[in-house]
Amino acid sequence: MIQVNGGICAAKGFKASGIHCGIRKNKTKRDLSLIYSESPCTAAAVYTTNLVKGAPLIVNKKHLQNGKAQAIICNSGNANTCNANGIEVAEQTADYLAQALNIDADDVIVSSTGVIGLPLDVEPIKNGIPKLIKELGDNSKLAAEGIMTTDTKVKEIAIEFEIDGKKCRIGGIAKGSGMIHPNMATMLVFITTDCKISSEMLQKALSTDIKETFNMISVDGDTSTNDMVTVLANGEADNKEITADDDNFKIFMKALNTVNVYLCRRIVADGEGATKLLECKVSGAKELETAKKCAKSVVCSALTKAAMFGSDANWGRVLCAIGYSGAKVDVDKIDVKFKSAKGEILVCENGSGVDFSEEKAKEILLEDEIEILVNLNSGDYCSVAWGCDLTYDYVKINGDYRT
């Protein structure tokens, strides 16, 4: 299993494009993206748990009832959420693209991201579709740019793996910087693969993996209204179709997990105003759910996030977050370490502080990737969660988001 170039275009038969169609005022920013497979695909998706859902998600749930799709179109700059005609606009978008590509409208996945409650004019999308199709090619990066909102960095990856002697590839792009919080994939992630896999097993793979990846990240504690993770598999690698939970399915799961973990890390590292990626590793738990609750609570803690921004080894905030996580732990057994490229330091042992060098701790926490290592010393289960620091710029970005 190796990393390769190409993003969502690394898999056979997939093309992509990204253009500026006029939704966003800034003409230098792309605001419409297309991902297209030359052949029909099995498809799977997971959606935000927010009760307020963007119109595209409602349309997509209907379109994906048969587990099939062939194209994804996504606009940025407008979420198409809480609009009286939102569903109509989403369906029109699918219809216009389907007509232009000569495919069924039910095989189009529609997505929107941006400001909530602002009516979305479908005309720029309609007028941009011919150019979007004309520029289809090996343009994963352009498509990734077209789905960005407050993101500052493109997020894409591709992995090559082998099943039954056939080389398969899986690639993904993502957007996500704010409104990122566990319980579903609170961002947009589009994944493509040429591996042949049934829609049932594709959905099982995705639904299983997000529990350990996209459900384990947090930037700000806000769960978005629009976001989803979707996978298209066109089978062009010509491997024997995966239809059961066998060894080949496990290989596919490993490849999918590699893509998802990478995108998780890139999303939180690019959190709004963030300067540091935080990775909390919890070990020694009695149960998996205990480990997950503790890890998620630590990366969600505003006080811990602020301490990491200030490179302050305030380990008490880590214990505090574990204490209110709802997990049943023996606080008198907890050890905490901070780790980075500059080294590792023990700051808490058996639930109490230990003598440590503040200078060394500061040096470790000044790095841009920090590991918070928690050992509950009560069992064999472990879990990982990802987050970022909380900075002045987060407030600035969100204080004038619409203006």
In sequence order, what are the residues at sequence separation of 6 or more whose Cβ sits closer than 8 angstroms to the Cβ of residue 273?
390, 391, 392, 393, 394, 395, 396, 397
- To the query of whether residue 81 is one of the catalytic residues in this protein, the response is no
Beta strands in 147-297 (DSSP E): 155-163, 166-175, 188-193, 228-233, 277-285
CA dihedral of 48, 49, 55, 58, whole degrees rounded to 10? 100
Interatomic CA distance for residues 40 and 48, integer angstroms? 26
Interatomic CA distance for residues 274 and 309, integer angstroms? 8
Query: Which residue among the candidates 186, 225, 230, 391 is catalytic per the annotation?
Result: 186
Interatomic CA distance for residues 76 and 13, integer angstroms? 25
> What's the Cα-to-Cα distance from 36 to each of 67, 131, 165, rounded to whole Å?
16, 14, 26
Whose tokens are 């190796």? That residue is 2
CA dihedral of 219, 57, 34, 187, whole degrees rounded to 10? 10
Of 70, 72, 79, nearest to 102 by C-alpha is: 70
Q: What is the CA radius of gyration of the chain?
A: 22
DSSP 45-73: EEE---SS--HHHHHHHHHGGGSEEEEEE
Q: Which residues are catalytic?
A: 186
